[in-house]
Amino acid sequence: MKERIKNILEKEAFAPSPLGLMVNPFYFARKGLHKNIKALSETITGKILDVGCGRKPYKNLFRYSEYIGLDIENPGHPHLNEDIDIYYDGKTFPLGDGEFDNVICNQVLEHVFTPAHFLQEINRVLKKDGHLLLTVPFIWDEHEQPNDFARYSSFGLKYLLEENGFSVCRQIKSVDDVSAIFQLVNAYVYKKLMTKGKVLYYLTLFSVVFPVNVLGRVAGAILPSNGDLFLDNIILAKKN
């Protein structure tokens, strides 16, 4: 029973269903990421490299012949329960030129101090006409400190990609309605209350997080969207 509950919570963490309203303090951000990554996933096939893979939370969304996870040892981010195939030194991927059909990179670029070099490495290991599916936060708190270096507007991200060998095919602003504000409330609550112990975690989850998620869901459905205020950039880019 305990293992079954654990599996349900792990699923709700990255692919939230309505149950996620009750149990996921990052419900809106994660729901938006899952929805939009899934919408672009048909392009990402063959031999795939997942850069900054962690637990590979979106692996099941892709059709692949081979799926390899690359990550870096990060003292600010424990790698317990993660699924990493190859570690690298933070500079050069230990991989050959043109080795992969497509690359995904999820919520990693903000932790890279030299983004141009990082994107050039991704470009190098991609085959000709290969694609990069990239997600990057726009509005979010500092996390995995001190290794959090940047936030990117949609325009800045497009410029950075084009300067480093890519053409942008699709660009999505994920969670561009008032529910973004409710998500920030729950992100604050999580960091200030829910990391203080199990009792306070569950008390806060049901007395604060759940009601805020429900209110955010209702408000997001009623009020108009705002393309200038959103949680995450999601981009599909092609190697030039």
Residue 136's domain comprises 2-177+227-239
User: Does pLDDT of 74 surpass 80?
Assistant: no
- Degrees (nearest 5) of the Cα angle 50, 235, 67? 20
Residue 5 pLDDT level (bands cut at 50, 70, 90):
confident
Closest to 172 in 3D by CA, of 229, 233, 230, 220? 233
User: Does pLDDT of 57 surpass 90?
Assistant: yes
Residue 176's pLDDT is 98
**Residue with the two structure tokens 């637990």:** 55
| Within a domain: 190 | no
DSSP class per residue in 131-197? EEEEEEESS----STTS------HHHHHHHHHTTTEEEEEEEEES-STHHHHHHHHHHHIIIIITS-
| Within a domain: 203 | no
Strand 100-106, strand 126-137: pairing: parallel
| Within a domain: 65 | yes
| Within a domain: 192 | no
At position 92, the amino acid (one-letter code) is T
| Within a domain: 55 | yes
CATH assignment at residue 83: 3.40.50.150
ω before 146 within 30° of 0 (cis)?
yes
User: Does pLDDT of 7 surpass 90?
Assistant: no
| Within a domain: 164 | yes
Residue 222's pLDDT is 97
| Within a domain: 208 | no
Asked whether the beta carbons of 214 and 21 are under 8 A apart, the reply is yes
- The total domain count for the chain is 1
Residue 76 pLDDT level (bands cut at 50, 70, 90):
low
Distances (CA, A) of 177 to 219, 228, 233: 9, 9, 14
| Within a domain: 111 | yes
Residue 75's pLDDT is 61
